[in-house]
Structure 1
Amino acid sequence: MAVKLSNNRGAVGGVPPVSEINVTPLVDVMLVLLIVFMVAAPLMASGVKVDLPTSNAKPLSEEKPPIAVSLNAAGKLYVDKTEVTNATLVGALTSATEGDKTRRINIRGDKGLAYGKVIEAMGEINDAGFSKIALVSEPPQTP
């Protein structure tokens, strides 16, 4: 005694099969991924925001070489290879640059020297009106 429930073959409970894709789970997964990436994206950027130069950036070309201010481990100051004191530093720089305040000045400090000494010399040079000041370091040596 079999009872026939419907005339549609393959139908469950009298409802015909649906031939459309259910996109609700797909939308749910996409929204979850969107939220995850929105939260994780700021964490992936490490470091400080920097405006990088474009690919057509050219290297600096200066007519005159920079003036080197060196501080050795004992804290003695040198302009190029001439020893100077803190009081005569600005005068020696002015004569070495021939009064050109836009000339680049490279500060080279010994790694054993206290950081404050280098900053003090840099401050004196900046107070004298020189604006193009650079700190020089050695690249790491690979074994």
Structure 2
Amino acid sequence: MAFHPTPHAQQPLAEINMIPLIDVMLVLLIVFIVAAPLLTHAVKIDLPRATSAPVDLRPEVIQLGIRADGSLYWNGAATTEEALPERMREAARHVPQPEIHLYADARTPYETLARVMAMSARAGLGRIGFVSNPGKTP
């Protein structure tokens, strides 16, 4: 019997066998796919149903007109300076508070405007706006 050793048959294999690693990974994947739905703890609650419309929180606008002769107009209706504080106190009770838009003549004395603004401040109305007509730019 002739014994001739071959140099390639005796050397160790230098490659990693990937087949067992892939088999283990596929088995783990299947286990996690099956076990994942079991790990979720969901509590079923019958919640109440509600329907609602959005709340419009835009404040009411009160148009207060002041003429040059001192006559006052509350939303287009003539009023007196004596009745104005009570109307303002009543308007200040609304939620949200209304805005006052002052429409004053160009010749209205500042004293009249100052009295009306002081009345609104005493009544608790803090949002006052002056309305003017846009003029030509010089």
TM-score between both structures, scaled by the size of structure 1 = 0.49
- Where in structure 2 are there 5+ consecutive unaligned residues? 1-55
Whether 1:138 and 2:133 are equivalent positions in the alignment is yes
Deviation at 1:92, TM superposition (A): 2.4
- 1:96-107 alignment to 2 at 5 Å? 97=91, 99-100=93-94, 102-107=97-102
**CA distance in 1: counterparts of 2:98 and 2:60, whole angstroms:** 8
The residue number in structure 2 matching 1:81 is 76
Q: Secondary structure at the match of 2:86?
A: helix
Q: Contact conserved, 1:79 with 1:93, CA < 8 A, in 2? A: no
The percentage of aligned residue pairs carrying the same residue is 22
Q: Secondary structure at the match of 2:88?
A: helix
Q: Deviations over 1:27-46 (max 9, x none)?
A: xxxxxxxxxxxxxxxxxxxx
Give the counterpart letter for 1:74 in structure 2: D
Question: Which entry has the higher C-alpha Rg, 1 or 2?
Answer: 2
Give the counterpart letter for 2:129 in structure 1: A
**CA distance in 1: counterparts of 2:108 and 2:116, whole angstroms:** 12
- The number of equivalent residue pairs is 82
**CA distance in 2: counterparts of 1:129 and 1:98, whole angstroms:** 6
**CA distance in 2: counterparts of 1:127 and 1:88, whole angstroms:** 14
**CA distance in 1: counterparts of 2:92 and 2:117, whole angstroms:** 19
Deviation at 1:62, TM superposition (A): 5.7
